[in-house]
Amino acid sequence: MMRKNLLLASLYSFMAFYLHAQHFDKVATVATNNERSSRTAGLIDINQDGLVDIFFTNGDQTASEIYLNQGEGVFQLSSDRAINSTGLRAVGANWIDVENDGDLDMYVTTWGTGTKNYLFLNGPDGLEIDQSSILNITNFSEAAGWADYNSDGYLDAIVANSNSGVNLFFTNNGDGTFRSISINGSGGDSRCASWADWDNDGDQDLIVTNEAHDVYAYLNGPDGLSASLDLFPDKTYTAFGASWGDMDNDGDLDLFLARFSAPNVLLENDNGVFTEVPSSGLSENNHPAIGSSWGDIDNDGDLDLIVTNGFVLRMYQLSFLLITETRLLQRLNQRSSYPRWDHIMA
């Protein structure tokens, strides 16, 4: 009878999952058929016409591209002179309102000897390079992370640099200019900078992932960002990417580390103390992971996760079936157990 009940519970959960799951269709009309070594894609309304446009960064070999949405699924390559004048070969891009004027500006990070990052301000004539900005640095920049770390209403920036470069932190003066602030922790071949309020005290904390060094972690407090602290005292995690999400719906943000040359790691946050989740299924991904993102793709009230890899894309889903089985095991075995993550897309 017990096995029959378990089977019925699993079958019901399996059916419930498919009743709630969203279906994704490949769109026949695409923005471009050009083959590129694209690194990021930004979906934003660049020209404020109510339609979502696309900005591609195409790595350090091919210029970046803007495709303007013409409506009805038609996109046209933009002749934006600011982008074209730089021949911009970028690896990362952020769309942020630097000036608090209601439109989106852009910051791009580039990688390579002699290449320069650029801050583009959005104005009446479109995007224009802010030629005087100290953010226009020359470095091996991988990514930038933006947040209002000092709660003054303006976005500040951390730029993660690889090739033994120094990571750079800039605070917004509120008038469109920035000033540089020293930050401890560099030379680790940094790949990603990610802000989140992981201690639930109302301000933004920071982690920087590194290819050749443990994660740099900075706690935000009354005196600003603390020196780099050991967030994982019993472990050393090199990583390419990081993303935050409340996977267990307990009110604090958990952390996923995408690791290019090691198993991925899911870390549960318990009041600011992080513990690696055992047997989550996520560490079984043996592909070179680079990035990830959380979202409730099946509208079931919990967060799912998509992981981008160097060669293969994978999606993981915390399904009704797996949640039900985990809860039943808890009752039968009288021990704690984490929900397992199911690989749903090759």
Q: What is the DSSP string of 209-220?
A: EESSSPPEEE-E
Residue 334 pLDDT level (bands cut at 50, 70, 90):
very low
pLDDT confidence band for 119 (50 / 70 / 90) = very high
> Per-residue confidence at 28, pLDDT binned at 50, 70, 90?
low
Percent of the chain surpassing pLDDT 70: 72
* CA atoms within a 13 Å half-sphere pointing along the CA-CB vector of 106: 29
What DSSP string describes 239-287? Answer: -SEEEEE-TT-SSS-EEEEE-SSS--EEEEEETTEEEEPTT-SGGG--S
Separation of alpha carbons 290 and 88, rounded Å? 22
Residue 319 has pLDDT above 50, yes or no: no
Per residue in 199-245, pLDDT (tens digit) is 999 999 999 999 888 899 999 988 888 876 778 877 889 999 999 99
Crossing angle for the helix pair 2-20 and 320-333, to the nearest 10 degrees: 150
pTM (two decimals): 0.78
Q: How far apart are CA 128 and CA 301, in angstroms?
A: 41
Give me the pLDDT at residue 97, please: 95
- Model pLDDT for residues 256-312, shown as the tens digit of each residue: 999 888 888 999 999 888 999 876 666 665 678 888 889 887 788 888 888 888 755
Q: What is the total residue count of the chain?
A: 346
29 confidence band (pLDDT: 50, 70, 90): low
Is pLDDT above 80 for 330? no
- DSSP per position, 139-161: S-EEEEEEE-TTSSSS-EEEEEE
Per the rule left: phi > 0, alpha: psi between -120 and 50, beta: everything else, 21 is beta
Structure confidence at residue 283 (pLDDT): 63
